[in-house]
Amino acid sequence: ALQLTSKDYVEYIKRAYELIHANGDYITELDSATGDGDHWSNINMGFEKLVEEADRLETLNLFEEFKEIGKIMMSVIGGSSGVLYGSAYLGAAKTLKDKDVITSKDLCDVLAAMLDAIMARGNAQPGWKTMIDSLHPAVTCFKESIEKGLSEEETLALVKKASVDGAENTKNMEAVRGRATYQANKGLGHLDPGAVTMSYQISTLMDYALE
């Protein structure tokens, strides 16, 4: 059964950084089409800093680790996404008080708390062409799979797919939040960059949890 330690979580961060780092041109292109072109640079800088701090982060308990990740993301990523990820990690930290490991159920609670925090901070709903549109379907799928009693393997694989499909669906959405709202067509026909990088993170986390 799944049991992620704070050291495991740092290992996941390193892998997410690799995937984000490798997709610079692609994500920059996405944010250039509907925004100001800096999303990859913002998020890449944040993860780079987290990787630099890895040795320190992995000595912390999960509660402190998530709070630190939130602080680093908030200060280093910048832009809209920095504040939103900062809030997400601070929200998730609260679910991890007194926990030494993250079980599958805990991981569902962590993602649900991130979703709540991002929706509250961004004053945004699912379907509004933002990072929420990858995270929300992932959380819904996670909760439903646990309720149905699906195996952990099946659950984690389905959550990964839900996050990727969710990001893909932003192509058909009109933006109600974020810079794509300034476009005449509200970004219709384009992927939301923040949803794509959210799906990178969720996918990497699910892959790591499946090992």
The gap between the terminal CA atoms of the chain, to the nearest Å, is 11
CB 98 within 8 A of CB 61: no
48 binds ligand ADP (CB under 6 A): no
Whether the CA torsion 110, 116, 121, 122 is positive or negative: it is: positive
CB 46 within 8 A of CB 13: no
91 makes contact, choosing from ligand ADP, Mg ion, none, with CB < 5 to 8 Å by partner type, with none
What residues from 99 to 128 belong to the interface with ligand ADP (CB under 6 A)? 118, 122, 124
Which x/- pattern, by CB under 6 A, does the window 51-90 give for ligand ADP?
----------------------------xxx--x------
Q: Among 130, 201, 203, 204, which residue interacts with ligand ADP (rule: CB under 6 A)?
A: 130
Q: Among 4, 10, 20, 42, which residue interacts with ligand ADP (rule: CB under 6 A)?
A: 42
Q: H/E element holding 190?
A: none
What is the closest distance, in whole angstroms, from the C-beta atom of residue 149 to ligand ADP in the complex? 32
CB 53 within 8 A of CB 38: no
130 makes contact, choosing from Mg ion, ligand ADP, none, with CB < 5 to 8 Å by partner type, with ligand ADP
Which x/- pattern, by CB under 6 A, does the window 178-207 give for ligand ADP?
xx------------xxxx------------
CB 97 within 8 A of CB 112: no
- Cα separation, 138 vs 15, whole angstroms: 19
Nearest residue to 205 via CA among 78, 70, 75, 110 = 110
What is the closest distance, in whole angstroms, from the C-beta atom of residue 7 to ligand ADP in the complex? 28
- Cα separation, 176 vs 180, whole angstroms: 8
Query: Which residues of the chain form contacts with ligand ADP (CB under 6 A)?
Result: 31, 35-36, 38-39, 42, 79-81, 84, 118, 122, 124, 130-132, 177-179, 192-195
